[in-house]
Amino acid sequence: MAPPFRVALSGKGGTGKTTTAALLIDALRRAGETPVLAVDADPNANLHEALGMVVTETLGSMREEAFTRSIPAGMSRHAYVRLRFRQVLVEGEGVDLVAMGRPEGTGCYCFSNDLLAECLAGLQSVYPFVVIDAEAGMEHIARGTIGVPDVLLIVSDPGARGMRTATRIRDIALSLGLPKERMFLVVNRVRAGAADVGGEPVPLIVEVPADPAVEEADLAARPIVSIPDDSPARLAIEALAARIVEMARGR
């Protein structure tokens, strides 16, 4: 089986990164590219809410547990982490979700991070697509926990601050060794274009129109994936998903 095609999304808070990730995951599911593995690698984990899924435990809390609680007799800590990893995974219809969460406590997590990276790599083998909602600093990419994405989508709003942050994220990704041809810009909530902040722009892959349906779902605390089939944001992300599938097939 071919390795999964990994899509990571990064962007500053408030740009609609998690909304984009959820709609992309849903678009891949609707297109039959299942099962999709959703990875919430943002410490402020809320991808599950956007997808309408329930998370009761994160890998961060599991990692702490593996190093503070007694392991069952006859089981190594390594095997225990593998077992608990499977238990933390939330299974849905065509979509499975794992939340990285925020590590608690202090100290070095190199050993446990290596275990998590190994578990995640083994799990990915059964999924054609992995979509990762990452933080702006891309800590998990730097640590190697989630591997190197095939595509990095840098999400921004049309404003100058968001666009400047997108450029900085691109520079961080370049410093981590990600090829610039794998990086694309997603501009959300577009009404009349985006700010020009100069310098070398990140190549634009899609503009997502401002969509009242997204705002209404957010205000009502409904899953973003519940917006109508013909809503502008959903249609734009479906076009993005088609591009992603095309890239995966041409890999």
One DSSP character per residue, 57-72 reads --HHHHHHHHHHSPPP
Reported confidence tier of residue 188, pLDDT bands at 50, 70, 90: very high
pTM of the model: 0.89
Higher pLDDT, 77 or 164: 164
Query: What's the mean pLDDT in 41-49?
Result: 84
Residue 242 has pLDDT above 70, yes or no: yes
Query: Which of 246, 6, 22 is closest to 124 using CA atoms?
Result: 6
Do the strands 36-40 and 129-133 form a parallel or antiparallel pair, or are they unpaired? parallel
CA dist 40 and 44 (Å) reads 9
Q: Which CATH number characterizes residue 228's domain? A: 3.40.50.300
Q: What does the pLDDT read at residue 116?
A: 65
Does residue 108 sit within a domain?
no
Average pLDDT, the chain: 87
Does residue 10 sit within a domain?
yes
Does residue 80 sit within a domain?
no
Does residue 201 sit within a domain?
yes
Alpha-carbon distances, residue 206 vs 37, 110, 214 (angstroms): 22, 37, 17
Q: What does the pLDDT read at residue 77?
A: 73
Query: Which of 106, 116, 111 is closest to 58 using CA atoms?
Result: 116
Does residue 238 sit within a domain?
yes
The number of residues making up the chain comes to 251
Reported confidence tier of residue 110, pLDDT bands at 50, 70, 90: low
Reported confidence tier of residue 181, pLDDT bands at 50, 70, 90: very high
Point out the least confidently predicted range of 63-67, 72-76, 116-120, 220-224: 63-67
Tokens for 34, please give them. 């299942």
CB 209 within 8 A of CB 232: yes
Q: What does the pLDDT read at residue 75?
A: 82
Question: Which residue segment(s) compose the domain that 239 sits in?
Answer: 5-53+92-103+126-249
Residue 251 has pLDDT above 90, yes or no: no
CA distance between the termini of the chain: 14
Does residue 87 sit within a domain?
no
pLDDT digits (tens, 9 = 90+) for 4-20: 999 999 998 889 999 99
Number of compact structural domains in the chain: 1
Query: Which of 210, 203, 162 is closest to 183 using CA atoms?
Result: 203
Whole-number percent of the chain with pLDDT over 90: 57
* Angle between helix 232-249 and helix 17-30 axes, rounded to 10 deg: 70
Tokens for 17, please give them. 């990164």
Residue 90 has pLDDT above 60, yes or no: yes
Whole-number percent of the chain with pLDDT over 70: 88
- Helices (H) and strands (E) counted in the chain, each on its own, are 9, 8
- Which amino acid is located at 121 in the chain? A
Does residue 79 sit within a domain?
no
Does residue 118 sit within a domain?
no
Cite the beta strand spans of 45-133 per DSSP E: 90-91, 95-99, 129-133
